[in-house]
Amino acid sequence: MPARSIGQEFTKGLWSENPVFRQLLGLCPTLAVTGWVINGLAMGLATSFVLIFSSLVVSIIKKLIPSQVRIASYIVIIATFVTVADRFLAAYFPDISKDLGPYVPLIVVNCIILGRQEAFSSKNSVGRSLIDALGMSSGFVLALLVLSSIREILGSGTYLGHQVMGSWFKPWIIMILPAGAFLALGILLGIALQIEKKTKSRV
């Protein structure tokens, strides 16, 4: 891997290695919680919190972990921060916590987080791991925001609970149903690939 500048380390998470659109990681929460923008945002922030702090801890103690048990150790670290996030949401935002249901505890099996520990934090310095985690989190939040915005506007004609479409608008119920999540993400992936191809051919 060629050495990247700090800036590139951050921006790669936004587009060229975007966890959702480019790497197809963490699709379960991406599909499940994006019916409303507020839920998508909460999910994105909770996942970011877990990812950033897990990366920080893993990169600090990477020399102490024997390589045979590294996966188990990462999982315990991740699970600890997920518990913190889960309790925090339940205490301060009980409504959102109820809406998200089992998907908050399920952050623990989100492949983005374990993937970054294995692929990046266990090999890089604390600073770089932190930047990488910040970039990946932003990419994930971005993807959730795009998908949940499309689904909420088309599916219920609102944005963050406020009416944005006129009274002529008939909500596309399908968009807030599971089927709409699959369809919207499938089309978005196609668009992302097309944009990627266009920018590549220009260079």
Partner 1 sequence: MELVAIFISAILVNNFVLYYFLGICPFLGVSKKIDSAVSMGLAVTFVMTITAVVSWAINNWILIPYGLDYLKIVSFILVIASLVQLVEMFIRKVSPPLYQALGIYLPLITTNCAIMGLALLAALREYGFTEAVVFGIGSGLGFTLAIILMAGIREQLDLADVPEPLKGAGISLIVAGIMALAFMGFIGMIK
Binding site for partner 1 (CB under 8 A): 24-25, 27-29, 31-32, 71-72, 75-76, 79-80, 82-83, 86-87, 101-102, 105-106, 108-111, 114, 174, 177-183, 185-187, 189-191, 193-194, 197
How far apart are the C-alpha atoms of 27 and 162, rounded to whole Å?
27
Shortest distance in whole angstroms from residue 193 CB to partner 1 = 4
Amino acid at 169: F
* CB closer to partner 1, 29 vs 139: 29
Euclidean distance between CA atoms 34 and 155, whole angstroms = 11
CB of 189 to partner 1, least distance (A): 4
In angstroms, what is the minimal distance from the CB of 98 to partner 1?
11
Asked if residue 131 lies in contact with residue 139, where contact means CB atoms within 8 angstroms, the answer is no
- Whichever of 34 and 156 has its CB closer to partner 1, that residue is 34
- Which residue, 98 or 123, is less far from partner 1 as judged by CB? 98
| Eight-state DSSP code of residue 162 | E
Report in angstroms the alpha-carbon separations of 103 from 170, 185, 193: 30, 18, 28
Residue located via tokens 């998508």 = 40
Min dist CB 197 to partner 1, Å, is 7
Length of the chain: 203
Cβ closest to partner 1, residue 160 vs residue 191: 191
